[in-house]
Structure 1
Amino acid sequence: MRKTEWRHGSASEPALFFIHGDFGDGFDTWGPVSTTIGRRYRTVTVDRPGFGGWLNHHDRFTIAGEAVSLMVVADEMGLETFHLVGHSYGALIALEMAVTHPGRVRTLHLIEPPLLDLLPADTGVQHMRETVRTIQAQHADVGADATTEAFFTMIGAAHVPERLRGTQEWDRLCIFAERFARGESVGDYPSQVLNRIPSELPIGIYSGGRSHPVFRAIAMALLRRLEGARFTDVAMAGHAVQLSGDPFVGPLLALVTDADALWEQRNSPLDTDNARE
């Protein structure tokens, strides 16, 4: 069975639903955040399909297919509405969930989504797009160790294999490499999805000042494209912005709080009656 962590904060608060990226699972990515926020809010961290204990280990996984599977998780947990937070590849899945179920997502939080189709004229972005495809295509020939090293080198984190190779943590990353190779290439996910985002949906965009320039460029392009989105730039963070602590959690909860107040106002009996007049 898949691994799901559920923390009970205030029963009156909607849940925050966290989606991890490729080289990590739900606990690796969201453990510290969930522990902090779970004192006040209900939080859900779940392993994506193909990670952890999921039984449906398909040969290939798509972003749209994962979005469907994770909405089933939300349904099983009785989450009528929730706040959606995604990191990296998980942010693309969160984006897909938000546009396919707009009435259920209260806020959408995108942490450095690799929406590589968004900037077709940017040579750096398109180089990463092709590099991802190459790494995935060569995985069967070169193996998990080489795939893992190539991935972290691509995102500007060559120090990771240098520091971790030969450790249990490195072995764990290599397991994630097997799943990475079977996922939809991020460069194939169409940026036209942005046209389907409800205009009234509150959105937060998060980026790390020490992250790869490609991720930074995409975050800034999203900010220009999504009118009204809030931008959080954590100067000392890398790609894993969510691990920066208060500089990430503070803006996240501020948007959640503001959006909840607006949501309740829009859906109050008085507001509904006024809309009928």
Structure 2
Amino acid sequence: MRNNSFSKSPLIKYYVYGDGETVLFVHGGFSNGRASWKRQIGELAAFAKLIVVDRRGHGSSPKLPRPYTILGDALDILKVADLIGIDRIHLVGHSYGALVALEIALRREIQVETLHLIEPPALSILRNDPAVIDLSENLRRVQRLGPNMGKDWTARLFLEKLQGKDFVEYVASSPTWNKLLLEASRFWYEQFAADYDLDQNDLVNLHVPTWVYVGCQSNQVLVRVSKELCDLLPCCKLVQVPDGTHMLQAESNVLSLQLISLINP
């Protein structure tokens, strides 16, 4: 049984766009809600009510308390949903935020109409795989040394391990780099993704219609983990985006088209 008690922490920041069926978006690391889901806000606000959150420690949400956990993020978002009075939601999460979305679905299955997970780093389900171990060890080192090395070093090394040096150089030369650095320190104080244990019995009993999205040009460890997770979920469809990277929600309209097809069949 999962503990659903809320903390007395201050409410996280959230934004509301449009009207209709509710779609709730949970962003990943090194970002915030409006930056991560800018494309979807533009594509979907005419079709649905969009709830976009800043996870604690990101964007305009409170920085404390910490350390940050996936459970804590899930309870923060459930508090927002209860405050707004949402009965049913289409729930979307990217990367670390996809783990948070999965935790929400495991706690409130009855409330989740559909679940959409973009490359969730559910590393614990393949924890003994050598490639998973190698990626985890490299990213743990970045997290451990980050407070001493600084935000720029943290962001560069994290993204390099995740997507490669060329991707880092491309992003670092773009106008978004300074905004990304504003979000980097949260990684130092959050629960490491590989430490989030997923009970396979819980997964095989989660009967929410689920779509898992992967970018074929993304980190192949994350692609494999995402596929394994989808295999475990009984109502899951895998969506592969040929030219997509780990940031496929910013690169492709495939997520928006899928949501529109569900909201306006």
TM-score, reference length from structure 2:
0.89
CA distance in structure 2 between the partners assigned to 1:218 and 1:40 by the alignment = 32
How many angstroms apart in 1 are the aligned matches of 2:27 and 2:258?
A: 19
- Structure 1 SS opposite 2:109: coil
Q: Which residue of 2 aligns with 1:244?
A: 251
Match of 1:106 among 99, 113, 126: 113
Per the alignment, residue 36 of structure 2 pairs with: 29
Residue aligning to 1:7: 17
Q: Secondary structure at the match of 1:40?
A: coil
| 1:53 equivalenced with 2:60 (yes/no) | yes
Give me the whole-angstrom Cα distance separating, in 2, the residues matched to 1:194 and 1:92: 16
Residue 111 of structure 1 contacts residue 205 of structure 1 at CA under 8 Å; is this kept in 2? Answer: yes
Query: Which residues of structure 2 form unaligned runs of 5+?
Result: 1-10
* Per-residue deviation, 1:37: 1.2
User: Amino acid of the residue matched to residue 7 of structure 1?
Assistant: Y
Name the structure 2 match of 1:132: 139
Give the alignment's TM-score, normalised by structure 1. 0.85
Q: Does 1:88 align with 2:91?
A: no
Match of 2:37, SS state, is: helix
CA RMSD of aligned residues (A): 2.0
Matches of 1:205 and 1:194 in 2, distance apart?
19
Aligned to 1:219: 226
Task: State how far apart, in whole Å, the 1-side matches of 2:171 and 2:243 are.
Answer: 22
Q: Cα distance 1:82–1:75, how it changes in 2: closer, same or farther (>3 A)?
A: same
Helix, strand or coil: the match of 1:200?
A: coil
Q: How does 1:1-277 map to 2 (within 5 A)?
A: 2-10=12-20, 14-165=21-172, 169-192=176-199, 195-196=202-203, 198-255=205-262
Q: Letter of the aligned partner of 2:28 in structure 1?
A: G
Runs of 4+ more than 3 Å apart: 163-168, 196-199, 252-258
- Relative distance call for 1:19 and 1:167 in structure 2 (3 A) is same
Aligned-residue identity in percent: 29
Post-superposition shift, 1:236? 0.8
Secondary structure of the equivalent of 2:163? Answer: coil
| Offset, 1:206 | 0.5
Larger radius of gyration: 1
Amino acid at match of 1:74: A
Q: Secondary structure at the match of 1:103?
A: helix
Q: Is the 8 A contact 1:112 1:215 kept in 2?
A: yes
Q: Is the Cα contact below 8 Å between 2:122 and 2:226 reproduced in 1?
A: no
| Cα deviation code 1:26-81 (max 9, x no counterpart) | 11111111221111111111111111222342231010011001111111211122
Deviations 1:69-119 (A, max 9, x none): 111111121112211100000000001111111221111111100011111
Secondary structure of the residue aligned to 1:231 is strand
Give me the whole-angstrom Cα distance separating, in 1, the residues matched to 2:13 and 2:152: 25
- Offset at residue 2 of structure 1 (A): 4.9
Residues of 2 paired with 1:251 and 1:191: CA distance? 26
Contact conserved, 1:204 with 1:252, CA < 8 A, in 2?
Answer: no
SS of 1:32's partner is: helix
Matched residue SS, 2:217? coil
Structure 1 unaligned regions, length at least 5: 259-277
Q: Is the 8 A contact 1:117 1:191 kept in 2?
A: yes
Aligned amino acid, residue 127 of structure 1: D
Q: Which has the higher contact order (CA 8 A, sep 6+)?
A: 2
What amino acid sits opposite 2:192 in the alignment? S
User: How far apart, in 1, do the equivalents of 2:147 and 2:201 lie?
Assistant: 33
CA deviation after TM superposition for structure 1 residue 256, in Å: 5.3
